[in-house]
Amino acid sequence: MRDVDPRRRVPRTDALLADPALAAAAGTLGRDRVKAAIVRAQRRARAGELTPEQVRDAALAELPAPTPRAVLNATGVVLHTNLGRAPLSAAAVDALVAAAGHTDVELDLRTGRRARRGRDALDALAAAVPDAPAVHVVNNGAAALVLAATALAADREIVVSRGELVEIGDGFRLPDLLESTGARLREVGTTNRTGLADYAAAVGPRTGFVLKVHPSNFRVTGFTSAVPVGDLATLGVPVVADIGSGLLAPDPLLPDEPDAATTLRAGAHLVTASGDKLLGGPQAGLLLGAADLVERLRRHPLARALRVDKLTLAALAATLHAPTTPTREALHAEPGALRARTERLRDRLGEDGCKAEVVPSAAVVGGGGAPGVELDSWALSLPERYTEPLRTGAPPILGRVLHGRLLLDLRCVPADADPDVRAAILRVGA
């Protein structure tokens, strides 16, 4: 009996479109795009480049992976900038979904009239920081500072210490950001030491405000001095304090990290911060301070360009209403519990013939916050060869390599994802 031509065994298009994986791709990428990938894979099989059994996988491989992809953060960096900083709480995710359709973002359903945009988020932020007479929200931390500089110091001077002219992510520098608003920087002091007299000598009729910047992504030690907000508030001009990380109230775990409430009580007229760092919410720029200043910012034409969308407002409100966030839980995870959890994972892997070790780990805050603070933690230690397959797998799992070993710190990995971590490790080791 003659062999059947392999080309006759190439799967039909309708059969491939019914495959669960390809059907799911069609749901997100569109049926036409998936069908075109299938047809190209079938042609390759008929040309002898693929076996009929490889057509399905070849079509899937040609399709782009959905982006962004959810990953498991086992790096030990709580606020990993490259992984999107703070993960949202379940309540914030639910709020995002609810806000995806038509909402009452600017409508009072009782009266049928226009209402204050984002009132729930703004009210929640004001309640979280009672020391702030007024609050406003823009689309990120840098935008908050840009709005303040534009509204309060365009064509005027911003007095700032040379030691606080920092560079933030991707090469953006604070001086460039501020000068782009039309303000002129009046630098005082030196890199390592600045005194109140330096500020006082620079303050004059052209001063828009004095800027205090928390150097949140580095530390200067040794022969140093800086001026606290309380002393700057005696100079008779507005003091704007950029605290960076978005901590709203003191946290004993982070004694050197400035918070909004304490900074306002010390005399700052305006505080700017980020929403997607220690607050644990979506990317947003927080503005808290004197009612007259916040109103000037809110009414400035630039505020419209920096306005946050309804999804951000919904997630921010839910974050502020919730009793805790994944970020807070990760920061305050008890080392003993982390060790026990990691040992359970090790033991389960051992039952399947995969050898791993449990080793001490030093986690960090990350995200430009609390430099130098280390969090006692524990990690699963695997051979370095696991690094790339886990990072490119499904789900992607990111750890960190130290001394030729891959360390997976579970501090930021949801506990219910441990079976996924185990399955991914076993696939690599198979």
**pLDDT score at 4:** 58
Q: Give helix then strand counts, H and E, for the chain.
A: 18, 16
Handedness of CA 56, 58, 60, 62 (dihedral sign): negative
**pLDDT score at 3:** 56
Cα separation of 351 and 62, whole Å?
Answer: 37
* Burial of residue 350, with CB atoms counted within 10 A of its CB: 0-12 exposed, 13-18 middle, 19 or more buried: exposed
Full-model pTM:
0.88
Distance from chain centroid for Cα 97: 19
Residue by residue, pLDDT tens for the chain (430 residues) are 455 566 678 999 999 999 998 999 999 899 999 999 999 999 999 999 999 999 999 999 899 877 788 999 999 999 999 999 999 999 999 999 999 999 999 999 999 999 999 999 999 999 999 999 999 999 999 999 999 999 999 999 999 999 988 877 677 888 999 999 999 999 999 988 999 999 999 999 999 999 999 886 667 777 888 999 999 999 999 999 999 888 999 999 999 899 999 999 999 999 999 999 999 999 999 999 999 999 999 999 999 999 999 999 999 999 999 999 999 999 999 999 999 999 999 999 999 999 999 999 999 998 777 777 899 999 999 999 999 999 988 889 999 999 999 999 999 999 999 999 999 999 998 6
Count CA atoms within 13 Å of residue 176 on its CB side: 6
**pLDDT score at 39:** 95
Which residue bears the tokens 């399709």? 63
Q: Are 258 and 247 in contact (CB under 8 A)?
A: yes
Cα separation of 205 and 182, whole Å?
Answer: 17
Cα separation of 165 and 175, whole Å?
Answer: 6
Handedness of CA 173, 176, 181, 186 (dihedral sign): positive
State the distance between the two ends of the chain, measured CA to CA, in whole angstroms. Answer: 40
Tokens of 393: 């797998």
Q: Which helix (H) or strand (E) element contains residue 35? A: helix 31-46
**pLDDT score at 172:** 81
* Burial of residue 109, with CB atoms counted within 10 A of its CB: 0-12 exposed, 13-18 middle, 19 or more buried: exposed
Please name every residue paired with 380 in a beta bridge, in sequence order, or none if there are none.
358, 408
Q: Are 382 and 360 in contact (CB under 8 A)?
A: no
Which residue bears the tokens 């069908």? 35
* Burial of residue 17, with CB atoms counted within 10 A of its CB: 0-12 exposed, 13-18 middle, 19 or more buried: middle
- In the β-sheet with 405-409, what is the strand arrangement from edge to edge? 77-79, 357-366, 369-383, 405-409, 400-402
Transcribe 81-133 into DSSP letters.
GGGTSSPPPHHHHHHHHHHTS---TTEETTTTEE--TTHHHHHHHHHH-TT-S
Q: Are 138 and 147 in contact (CB under 8 A)?
A: yes
Tokens of 223: 């022969």
